[in-house]
Amino acid sequence: MKIIITGATKGIGKAIAEKFAAEGFDLAICSRNNEDLKGFKKEMQSKHPQIEVLTKVADMRKKTEVLAFAAFVKKHWNGIDVLVNNAGLFIPGEISKEEDGALEQMVETNLYSAYHLTRALLPVMLDRGSGHIFNMCSIASLIAYPNGGSYSISKFALLGFSKVLREEMKDKGIKVTSILPGATWSASWAGVDLPESRLMQANDIAIAVWSAWTMSPSAVVEDIVIRPQLGDL
């Protein structure tokens, strides 16, 4: 079995990679940082020597690099079982005050990357009549919140993309699931003065993704909303 995860060297993406690797999945991941990729590959192969780990440097803001990553994976693999569009960028700010270009940066990273990568890889899934696509949306896909700005706009759009894709793929054997997590410990929250229990663990999201994947072919979880027990921040 084979899984592709974007932005998988840290946080939620890494937790998902670790969970699926432990279950015997081969991994294909990308990151902007080659050193992070090297460290990830070494760690995964040390823990799970039986799996294959493909890595490639790619800036998911850039369509050419997204397509190059897709071509790289297709060159090595004939089949893809799971795609997790996880790469994301969060720049806090209000629409009226955020820096010029913030919308473009986050739409390119959070929406366009998922759109272009999915389109590039869908033919592989369609040929087999199976596959599961997970789009890492956010609570920000559902509600506007203070300092959410263009991030919320991009995540609302990603949820829309995911819902359209679900409708188009439902009779083709391909599942589509939107993951909508609230505050989760990751690099974005580094240094925040909050107790560990206030935010969710990245592994909580990985468990949810794995659970959705394990369902029978006749069932699909369309949306998974996951919040900290004490509610949103």
What is the DSSP code string of 136-199? E--GGGT---TT-HHHHHHHHHHHHHHHHHHHHHTTTTEEEEEEEE-SB-SGGGTT--S-GGGS
pLDDT at 122 over 80: yes
Q: Is the pLDDT of residue 131 over 80?
A: yes
Decide if pLDDT at 187 tops 70. no
Take residue 229 and report the two structure tokens written for it. Answer: 């027990």
CA angle 177, 180, 183 (to 5 degrees): 150
Region 32-45: mean pLDDT is 94
Domains in the chain, CATH or no CATH each: 2-226 (3.40.50.720)
Q: What is the mean pLDDT of the chain?
A: 94
d(CA 8, CA 226): 20
In the predicted structure, residue 233 carries a pLDDT above the cut 90? no
Banded pLDDT at 183 (limits 50, 70, 90): confident
Token pair of 29 as six digits: 């991941």
Active site residue 115: no
Q: Name the nearest CA neighbour of 16 among 131, 173, 220, 186.
A: 186
pLDDT at position 40 is 94
pLDDT tens per residue, range 20-30: 999 999 999 99
Catalytic residue among 112, 115, 145, 151: 151
Q: Record the pTM.
A: 0.94
* pLDDT tens digit sequence for 9-20: 999 999 999 999
Q: Please give the residue that has the higher pLDDT: either 122 or 196.
A: 122
State how far Cα 218 lies from the chain centre.
Answer: 23
Q: Reply yes or no on whether the pLDDT at 38 is more than 80.
A: yes
